[in-house]
Amino acid sequence: MEGLVVVISGFSGVGKGTIVRSLMERHPDEFAFSISQTSRKPRNGEADGREYFFVSRETFEENLKNRLLLEHTVYEGNYYGTPREFVENQLKTGVNVILEIEVEGALNAKAIYPESYLIFIVPPKARDIYYRLKNRGTESDEEIIRRMKKAAYESDFIGSYDDIIVNDDLETCIQEVYDKICLRRERLNRTHAEGAVYKRDFTELTKEEN
Ligand code: 5GP
């Protein structure tokens, strides 16, 4: 069977990056991380080709025109997109591909790959994110309000996800994400195998009739 597309989304600051990194480190043979292209500038500590492929707006638009991106979105005025070829190649080898993308991209990925598995990571309470940002003191009050508005908008999409996983204790959350992906994959293996048996049997029956 081909690999599974696993989409991980979550509110800004919920820790989804850490969860994805841990999954990759612990199960390097089972997962491939899709490194997105973005037109936003690198933040401190980010490296080209590791967190993102950082490109100009012009290059992004050119890539879009040439259909090199599987899905894309505009977030906070910057382009973000998933490189098509990497995802397709990895899936063919049977590896699960992780897309860490926002809500609109998640729904687009689901439309392209109906079997993809959509996980939304949440904090135990909305206030947890609010206080984390407040205490950090690096964002202005306006910025914090803007993020709360964005999170409220994103909350509308959670109903379209396959699972919500709470990041209360990080270790428990990582394990839960991994277990749920394995379960999903096993179930798909089973239904695919059963489908193949029916296909074979019905195909045989059409031959007998002719
Ligand atoms: P950041 O700038 O904080 O790294 O990412 C901003 C948002 O863009 C996050 O919600 C992240 O998950 C999302 N994102 C990153 N790459 C992609 C992508 O290729 N496609 C889509 N649709 N969203 C992305």
What are the structural domains, with CATH classification, of the chain?
5-34+96-209 (3.40.50.300)
Name the residue with the closest Cα to ligand 1, atom 20.
81
Q: pTM score, two decimals? A: 0.94
What pLDDT score does 104 carry?
Answer: 97
What pLDDT score does 28 carry?
Answer: 96
What pLDDT score does 82 carry?
Answer: 98
Strand, helix or coil for residue 15: coil
> From the alpha carbon of 40, which atom of ligand 1 is closest?
2
Ligand 1 centroid from CA 140, angstroms: 22
- Protein residues whose CB sits closer than 6 Å to any atom of ligand 1: 36, 40, 71, 73, 75, 80-82, 100-102, 105
What pLDDT score does 116 carry?
Answer: 97
CA distance 174 to 22: 7
Name the residue with the closest Cα to ligand 1, atom 14.
101
* CB 124, CB 168: distance < 8 Å: yes
Chain centroid offset of residue 208 CA:
46
Residues with Cβ within 8 Å of residue 48, at least 6 apart in sequence: 42, 54
Q: What is the pLDDT along the chain (210 residues), one digit of tens a residue?
A: 889 999 999 999 899 999 999 999 999 999 999 999 999 999 989 999 999 999 999 999 999 999 999 999 999 899 999 999 999 999 999 999 999 999 999 999 999 999 999 999 999 999 999 998 899 888 899 999 999 999 999 999 999 999 999 999 999 999 999 999 999 999 999 999 999 999 999 999 999 877
Ligand 1 centroid from CA 105, angstroms: 8
Ligand 1 centroid from CA 141, angstroms: 23
* Residues paired with residue 96 on neighbouring β-strands, in sequence order: 31
Site to probe by mutation for ligand 1, drawn from 73, 75, 79, 86 as the one with most ligand atoms within 8 Å of Cβ, is 75
Ligand 1 centroid from CA 36, angstroms: 8
CA distance 37 to 54: 6
